[in-house]
Structure 1
Amino acid sequence: MAQFRSCAAIDLGAASLRLRLGADVPVAETVARAVLDEDGTVFAMGDDALVMEGRTWGAMQLCRPTAGGTVADHTVTLLMLRSMLRDAGRGRYSFGGRMGVCISAAVTDLGTAALRQLCRDAGFTDVRLVPQALAAAVGAGIPVDTPYASVIVDLGAEHTSAALLVCGRVIASRSTRFGGDALDALVARYLREEYQLVVSAGAAQQVKTALSVAGAGDSVPVRGQNAATGRPRGLSLPVEELRQLLLPRAVAAVCDQVTAVLAGCPVEMSADIFERGLVLTGGAAKLHGLEEAIRIEADLPVHVADDCEHAAVLGAQRLMADNWAGLDRSAFRATTLSGAELEPEPAAAP
């Protein structure tokens, strides 16, 4: 019975799928990539597909099954989700339970329906759509059930977004299509223009990821193809040069969204933010030097959440398990999946 009424949560990011089945269970994560064979069947997915990025041949193609916080390819995403559930010990036929799905404000009604159908096909009968910003704030440890304002900034693969939260509600949010993928493209373009080195999207992502752990005087090895001769070529890119390329763009994206969110907010809320500052979540928040650069530019305290990549899925699972204790349930878009129809639940339903 405990398994039937289990509380799970999922965060469908453009780069990764993250799943948590319970408070005592680690977050399961897989890369949101798949390689499709010429007949449309899945040849590889997850880490195996990521290794094949730029190495496919013939009619094979790399597939991104999720995009914009929702489902782009239902079949592939369902296969990934079922595989994660199976690996976590929840078999395909152990139906029931509640699923909290992180959802951004930009997701359309069609995207929402796709998320509901995905969870229904995976075997979950009670699905709640939890605002991404609220879930990330709870996962980051922000006390959102108070009258004091907080700002949560999410730096994802596709978007950079900021949200203002008060009393468990998302009061205002802004988002721009600039995230980790845009930084990868920036690295690839810079290497081609400045060094005549052509690299794949995967190689550019590895260069950017290395910035999160490299020291100030280090260099990042880069391998690719000579743009003029087509021959294999490599070089060592100084970390400081890479920071000067990426940090200003990332800082500008964050500060622009924060400024838009705080525009016109009451004076007392502004005072709260001046004292409490900004909390950064998402994978790109780990870029070395980003926290300090935003602090200088915004003139506000800046904190990177512990386990920033998993903050949203951790918060969504916690909200599901606690039945949103202390929060206004009308702030949630809740639905129950039963039979063939999708009917909205009353706002006060448990």
Structure 2
Amino acid sequence: MASIIGRCPVRLWGMTSAERLRRSLARAGVTEVRQGLDVQEVGDASPSDDGRRHLLVRDDHVFDAVLIADLARAEDTVLTTDAGLPVAAIVGAADVGAAAAMLQGGGSVPAGLRVVGPGGLSSAYNNALRKREAPYLMRLDADTLPAVERRMFAGSYKGVTDLVTKYVWPAPALRVTRWCAGHGITPNMVTWLSLVLVLLAMAAFWHGWFLSGLVMAWGMTFLDTVDGKLARVTMTSTKLGNVFDHGIDLVHPPFWYWAWMVGLAAVGLPLDPGWLVLAIVVAGYVLQRLQEGLFIALFGLEIHIWRRFDSWFRLITARRNPNLLLLTAGALAGRPDLGMLAVAVWTIASLLVHTVQILQALPARRSGPLVSWLAR
């Protein structure tokens, strides 16, 4: 079980620190949680010595989710800030009172407990987000709130992704994510809006309204960034929402390319043979996805995080956002047909690069399992 010590009044991402801790604890498998306790209340409500571990956490600090998860699996451990201030502990029933007093600054570390900082408790490598980044642990008050939210938002970002998502969207997405969290907008609401933009962009492309369609398409890609970040910072992601979001991401690009080809004919700029160009773009998209799955099946690792080059190439490989850049350049130049031809050529080039990556990984595996450069 767990106790959240304190009653921090500062709200972040539309919720109290105690509520965020409760959600983080639930994700770590700790569902029996008491919130907003002081030292006396923790001591009075200490469990009997039934062999259970008791997790105590101060709510005037913000913890990376991995810290809570790793602490919940630990035993007889005190977590401190980098400056050495105790902010959380997991102890047996006999040490609950002493640990609570320690966390409130009124006592020393009980004998026999291991004392660690964030780096000593959790790894800096995050496989799910494809990056290496030290877990955060920050004090929360009115003065630190802006910096805390910026750090939390940065922590929700994937480290290996396309260049638009990585370099263009973060600043505006932070502001929109903060607004959504403060107004009770859920990630699924954002995803539904992105689906509407998918359909509107497709309709615009179909009629040859390329620039209008691109505005909606880029709006969709922006919301695709926001919904995931909103889910992570508010800890409201669900399996169904994840399937909904990623399902849209996976399915819609070929339909956009098809609509673009129809639109080219509608404005008198048909490609010849158009069916071949469309087949290259769509088949290349599907084959690249299959290559990614094959790499995971063969090597237990994502193709984009094996070596430093592989992560760099993910910035520009022929996926939706880099392809949209090519289509946008063509539309702005008044030659949307050349934009689609560029997508076809870049799809072939990207497919060849990923094929070489797989062929290089086959002999490399003989020396042992492949390990991401981010984990080394």
Query: TM-score normalised by the shorter chain: which range applies?
Result: under 0.3
Q: So what's the TM-score if we normalise by structure 2?
A: 0.24
Computing the radius of gyration over CA atoms, which structure comes out larger, 1 or 2? 2
Higher helix share: 2
Query: Which is bigger in relative contact order (C-alpha 8 A, separation at least 6)?
Result: 1
